[in-house]
């Protein structure tokens, strides 16, 4: 049981290049999330997917697109990378059970992205 | 989403009990209180969650007073490996899908 996995672990891009960050979970969770973490800023939600087939914007969605490929996989795409997108990106998932009052997120190890 | 306030940093010696308090004055009736721990170069990890009174697990205790306007995460007898950032989150099942972690409390355990 690997939990939440992310690829790649590290990536360096030039301004204007594109790339896709991959995330997969094997816990049969319904919801998945993408965060970015910058020094002194905490974790900020980029996009989330409450269930397979749905995606919604979080706090900082500009410059990103997402795809919930299936229940297991949730990818984050940077179409034209900018230096401001240099950050550590975390993917997370949660059960989001029906009729539940609360939830718990499980995080991947992160992708460290540098845009030059 | 209830706004939370917690200390930016704390220092503690090994073996001591550490209490980190989080203020959430506008907590709503359906909101739960959840704490996460993040080690350097890793993603956050769930520690403990509660609604009222006291919750205890193998890692920590969570104390919530009757008015629920604050909560205290208690780590017994900390070791160097407890050095991490601790985040307090408050919300219900819907708001958790839009949660922002904030900068948390950076706990430094000193030998």
Of B92, B103, B104, the CB nearest to A101: B92
Find out whether the peptide bond into A8 is cis, omega within 30 degrees of 0.
yes
Name the strands in the sheet holding A19-25, side by side, starting at the edge strand that comes first in the sequence: A4-7, A19-25, A74-78, A65-68
The residue-averaged pLDDT of B63-74 equals 96
B100: pLDDT strictly greater than 90:
no
Residues of chain A contacting B87 with CB distance shorter than 8 Å: 42-43
8 A C-beta contact, residue A89 and residue A81: no
C-alpha dihedral (A58, B72, B78, A39), degrees to nearest 10: 30
CB contact under 8 A, B103 and A96: no
Comparing alpha-carbon positions, the chain A residue that sits nearest to B86 is A42
Supply the pLDDT for residue A97: 65
Which tokens sit at A7? 């690829």
Does B57 touch chain A if contact means CB atoms closer than 8 Å?
Answer: no
SS3 call for B96 = helix
Q: Are B90 and B23 in contact (CB under 8 A)?
A: no
Interface mutation vs chain B, best among A55, A102, A106, A108, most B CBs within 10 Å? A102
Phi first, then psi, for residue A13 (nearest 5°) are -125, 160
Mean pLDDT of chain B: 91
Digit-by-digit pLDDT tens for chain A (116 residues) are: 789 999 999 999 999 999 999 999 999 999 999 999 998 788 899 999 988 889 999 989 999 999 998 999 999 999 999 999 999 999 999 987 666 667 789 999 999 999 99
In three-state secondary structure terms, B20 is: strand
B7-48 pLDDT tens trace:
999 999 999 999 999 999 999 898 899 999 999 889 999 999
- Please, are residues B35 and B60 in contact by the beta-carbon 8 Å criterion? yes
Q: How many CB pairs under 8 A join A and B?
A: 68
Closest alpha carbon within chain B to A102? B93
Burial class (CB in 10 A: 0-12, 13-18, 19+), A43: buried
- Which letter does DSSP use for residue B103 in this model? S
- Cβ of A96 within 8 Å of Cβ of B93? The answer is yes
Rounded to whole angstroms, how far apart are CA atoms A3 and A6? 10
Q: Do A110 and B98 touch (CB under 8 A)?
A: no
Tell me what pLDDT residue A99 has: 60
Task: Choose the closest CB to B43 out of A41, A56, A90.
Answer: A90
């Amino acid at each position: 049981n690997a939990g939440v996995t992310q690829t790649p672990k590290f990536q360096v891009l030039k301004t204007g290049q594109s790339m896709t960050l991959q995330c997969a979970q094997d816990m049969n969770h319904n919801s998945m999330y993408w965060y970015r973490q910058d020094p002194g800023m905490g974790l900020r939600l980029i996009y989330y997917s409450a269930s397979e087939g749905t995606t919604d914007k979080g706090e900082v969605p500009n410059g990103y697109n997402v795809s919930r490929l299936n229940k297991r996989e949730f990818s984050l795409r940077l179409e034209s990378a900018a230096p401001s997108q240099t950050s550590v990106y975390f993917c997370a998932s949660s059960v989001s059970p029906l009729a539940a009052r609360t939830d718990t997120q499980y995080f991947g190890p992160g992708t460290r992205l540098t845009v030059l | 989403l209830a706004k939370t306030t917690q200390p930016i940093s704390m220092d503690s010696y090994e073996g001591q009990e550490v209490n980190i308090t989080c203020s959430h004055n506008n907590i709503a009736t359906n909101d739960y209180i959840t704490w996460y721990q993040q080690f350097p170069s890793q993603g956050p990890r769930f520690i403990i969650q509660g609604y009222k009174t006291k919750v205890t697990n193998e890692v920590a205790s969570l104390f919530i007073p009757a008015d629920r306007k604050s909560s205290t995460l208690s780590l017994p007898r900390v070791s160097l490996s407890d050095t991490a950032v601790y985040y307090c989150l408050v919300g219900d099942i819907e708001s958790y899908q839009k949660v922002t972690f904030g900068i948390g409390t950076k706990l430094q355990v000193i030998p």
